Every structure is written in C-alpha cells, then in structure tokens.
Amino acid sequence: MKFPARGLYAITQTEDKSADAVINEVAAALRGGAVVVQYRDKNPLDAPFLARELVKICHQHQVPLLINDDIELAGLVGADGVHLGREDGAIAQARQRLGSAAIIGVSCYNAVEHAMAAEAEGATYVAFGRFFPSSSKPLAAPAEIETLRQAKRVLTIPIVAIGGILPENGAPLVAAGADLLAVIGGLFDHQPEQAARAYQALFTA
C-alpha cells in the first residue's frame, strides 16, 4: 500500500487502554478521514495481537498501518511499514527485512540535513517536530516552522509535522510545507471521528 501524499497521520494512544478501546478509537479516526495510522506502544503486552487487528481495520479503509520503532513486529504482523527514530535501526535494515515496497519513515526532529540523508538512503517520508508543546513527547526538542519551508525546497518525499498539533494551530504548518500532520492527543483525547474531520479540513481549506 502506498504512503499518502496529504492528510491526517494518526498515531495510536495506547497508555492505560484496552486493545478494544484502541481498535475502536482507530476505527473512528479512519471514519473521520485519517489517511495513515501508526501503532505506537511504548509498553506493549499484546502488541502482535493488537497490531494485526489494526492492520485488518486499516486495510478495510485502504489505509496503511505502520509500526513505531519495531522492524521485526512490522514484518511479523504484515504491516505496511515502520517509523524509525534516532535509535531504531537503519533504513537499509528495515528495507532488507520488510521489502522494497515497505513504507519507511524517519524522525528528523529539526534537521533538514538528516532528512536529506534519509531521502538519499531510501526513506519513504520524513517527520519533523515537535512544533508545539506536547503531552505525548514533553521532553522532545522543539522544531521551527522555517525547517518545513527549507525541507520543502530540497526534498521530493512527503514531509510530516508532529508535536502538539491541533486543528487550531495546524494550518501554518501545512502552509509552510507539511504534507501530513501527525497527531496523538489532539485526536484521541477527543471524539476521534469528529477530531479527524477537523484535521482533514486543513488540507481542503
């Protein structure tokens, strides 16, 4: 499945939630128009089960499901790809394990040079952030909107913005060059279907 060109990038909120709750929330976000889903779970107990269920429901909506950090889990459950942070392994390693068609995203924080290197190494997309204070990543270093503008000038792959993004503050990021907005709390701290529609509206305004 291909990585989308624009839209809402939903990242699961799994803390203190049952597998059923996560599945239901993701289903609601998909009904609201989310175009890609990342399964992110820092303390997974039933990760293979939950990841497989999310793959099923995402594919019913023709939406790719990515796994955060874990290349092996992505391969095990038949996910569409993986998102790699600074300590999560190399693009080449992920490509070898998951195949030439896999989606491979890379966190680039506030570094356009890192993004350029990732594109050269075969990344499908790059992500910058955090752009605003974030309850999900309170210690993450801030990124600047100018980084998006610079990245848009030199990259040909999609650009994702992440970090404290709300429907109320996302428009400047899209205008600066973000192709997708990655969201956790702004989506799942609310009614996910309605919240997803509000984010998707930023791409049609």
Active-site residue numbers? 40, 107, 137
Backbone angles phi, psi at 76, to 5 degrees: -65, -40
User: Residue 115 is encoded by which pair of tokens?
Assistant: 């993004």
Give me the residues paired with residue 106 across strands: 84, 126
Give me the residues paired with residue 107 across strands: 127
**Hey, is 205 helix, strand or coil?**
coil
Q: What is the largest CA-CA distance in the chain?
A: 42
Cis peptide before 130 (omega within 30 of 0): yes
